[in-house]
Every structure is written in C-alpha cells, then in structure tokens.
Chain A
Amino acid sequence: MNIAFCSTGCDLNSSVDERFGRTTNFLIYKTETGETTCIENRARTAKGGAGALAVQQLVDNNVSVIIAPEVGPQAMDALKKFNITAYNQQGASTVKEALDLWKEEKLSLIEEPGNKGLHKA
C-alpha cells in the first residue's frame, strides 16, 4: 500500500508541509518494502485547481492513504471518489513522526473539508 505525505523535502526526516494542494513534494512510502519515492508536486505552480491536480498525482501513483494538514472541499470529494483515505498530520513535525503516528493509529481521519484550499484561480 502506498502512503503519501505532504513534505518539504525528499526524505523521511523532512518537515511536513503545511499545505496540501501546493505542498512542495509528495513523499510516498511503500508499506510492503519501506521504500520511499519523492514526487515534486506539479500543482505547486498550477494556475488554478491545485487541490484537484494534487489528487490526480495521488491517483496516478496508486496512493491509498494521504497524510495532510487539511483538505479543501473539492479535493475531499475527489479523494472519496478515488478511495483515498485522508489523515490529519497534526502533532507531527517531520514525515517520520507522521509515519510513526500513523502506524500507531494515533492520527485522526479527515472527514470534513477544511476551509483552506478553497481558492479557485
């Protein structure tokens, strides 16, 4: 299973990014092997619809779980449609910490869209 993190850098010690749609990178962790892949977020400089383009990249990389700060309403609908579960990264400052918290089942589900990420253009 692939888990994606909103990350400022490209390894597990990087800080988590405080944005979802316009995060610097998505760091993808493969639970089976413990391998990580770093994906530069194309949506960071998107004209509009960053949240949507971010979800598209998760879909393209077979991600099943996203650990994020907050997710906008449109991206939330999209995540549900593509069966991607979102967890709140709150309390973690690095990707490693967020991963550990997730493993310990200490992260809460994001079920309601946050107010962030509503801008369209």
Chain B
Amino acid sequence: MKITILSGKGGTGKTTVSNNLAVLVKESFLIDCDVEEPNSHIFMAPEITEEEEIRTGYPVVDEDKCIHCRKCADFCHYNAIIAGAAATMPLKDLCHDCGGCQLVCPAGAISYEKKGIGTIFSGTSRFGSRFLYGQLYTGELSGVKIINRLNEKMSHSDLVLVDSPPGTSCSTVAALEGSDYAVIVTEPTPFGVSDMKMVVEMLKEMNIPFSVVVNKAGLGDNEVYEYCSEENLTITGEIPFERIVAEAYASGKLAVEISEEHKSLYRNLWLNIQKEAERSHES
C-alpha cells in the first residue's frame, strides 16, 4: 500500500507528519519525493548504502552527417535546437528528452547522450527503517524523472509513506502515481485553506481517496474546519501547535521522540488513517 502525504504549500507539516508516522509504523518504508527541497533525511539521518545518479538524454549532432535541412529545429517544441547553414546546435539544458529530433532527422545525424540531473540515496534511517530520497541538482529543470525512478524502487507489498513535493505541480502528480491513499496536511490559516483547495481538486481529478490532517491546530481560526465540513472531507487528525515541538523540529528531532503523549497522538492518527484508507477501498 502506498500512502502519499501532501500539502497545498510548503511548511504546513508534510515532513513532520510523514516522518513521525514512519518512525511509529512498523515495517514502513519512507520515500522523500520532494526532490527540490528534500528534508526528511535531516530527521531520518540515514546511513546511506546506495547512491544512484539519475540521468536524462540530450541530442548530439554528427556534423559530418548533418545536411542542414533544419527539420530538427523546426520540430523541437522546446526550442532546444538552433539550426543554420553553418551549424546545427542542440542546447542540452532545454531538452526534454522526447526523441523527436532523432526521429525527424532524415540523415541519421542525431544520437542521444546522457547527463546527470540528480541523485537517489537509499539506506536505513537512524530508527532502523528503510528510507529513500532523491535530490535534484541545483539549476535543473524538472525532478519528474527522479520521482519516477523513486516510484520504481518500491514494490506493492511494501507499506510506503511518501513525503510529496508541495503544491500541485507536475512533480506532485508524479509523486502521487500509483498511490492508494493520500493525506493532505494543512494549517488553520486563510493560506492553509486557500492552498489546500487546489490539492483537493487535483486528488478528485486523479480519483485518489484522501483525508485531511490539521497541523498547528489552535494557532489559527475555524475556516479550515468549515471548508472540510462543507466539502464533506474527513479530518483524520489534529496536531496541536506546541512550542516544544517546534523547537525540537528546529534541531532535527521528531515529536515522537519527545514523549509518550506525542507518540500516542501519532499512533491514533495512524489508526484513523488506516481505517479511512481501508474504508475508502471497500466502498
């Protein structure tokens, strides 16, 4: 079973929820798919046993074979090839690796080479659980390929918890691929409500059942609860705002490490999520 934890915007507590659950839930396998800003490894402090560089393709032109017909440049929807009478020049940073230029070249002058866009790290967390995360190189265009590879590295028999990228971008869609259930983490502020609406819309379109966790409860107002009841969304848990938790978080410590009470808070949250996930798959 794959459960993806996501949020409308950053900083609502996606990593907090997924990491605390990963520590408590036996045999869980945490995957951090927020490849632009991976943070879970800070709390999981994993011992890395394997690294894999993720690569993408880009075209290379054999100038001896090129007949300067400009078909490749005309075809490329990303403007990643400049062609003139003197030369044909692919720009690898703009390439999406679609293979189109190679396909349209009548002279067989285009081949593809590979370059790295990021790394996947696998290992064991300081809690002994399996952990995987990806990191996009700075300045790279898109982490979707890394996320797709992260998805390939899990099997359906695993109980996978995914820390997703925030928002509703293509990276989030990639992280949600194959999810059985999703949990939206939000906060009781006008920002939290506004941002989660888009996530709700996306999950409905993707037909993924989900529930909502309200983090930093007690710090804001009631708008988020009103919205959930209007839209008939299940709230599987509330995590109160506590300065002691925020301070622990600041230094890389998780709530479940603070006290038994915090443990039982997350244990209850997990029971609710599990129950809701099962219920949604029966109906």
A residues engaging B (CB < 8 A)?
A: 43, 46-50, 52-53, 55-56, 59-60, 74, 77-78, 81-83, 118, 120-121
Contacts and interface: CB of A to CB of B under 8 A. Distances in A.
Q: Which of A43, A83, A120 has the most CB of B within 10 A?
A: A120
Contacts of B142: 121
A49 B86 contact: no
Interface of B: 73, 77-84, 86-87, 89, 91, 93-94, 139, 141-142
A55 B78 CA distance: 14
A82 B86 contact: yes
A56 B83 contact: yes
A120 B141 contact: yes
The 9 closest A-B pairs by CB, nearest first: A49-B79, A59-B84, A53-B79, A49-B94, A52-B79, A56-B82, A120-B141, A81-B89, A78-B82
Contacts, number: 55
Q: At the interface, is chain A mostly helix, strand, loop or mixed?
A: helix
A113 B80 CA distance: 18
B141 A52 contact: no
A82 B78 CA distance: 20
Given A46-B79, A52-B79, A78-B91, 4 more contacts: A48-B78, A49-B94, A77-B91, A120-B93
Contacts of B93: 74, 120
A74 B90 CA distance: 10
Q: Which of B77, B79, B93, B142 has the most CB of A within 10 A?
A: B79
Contact of A82 (B73, B84, B91, B139): B84
A60 B79 CA distance: 14
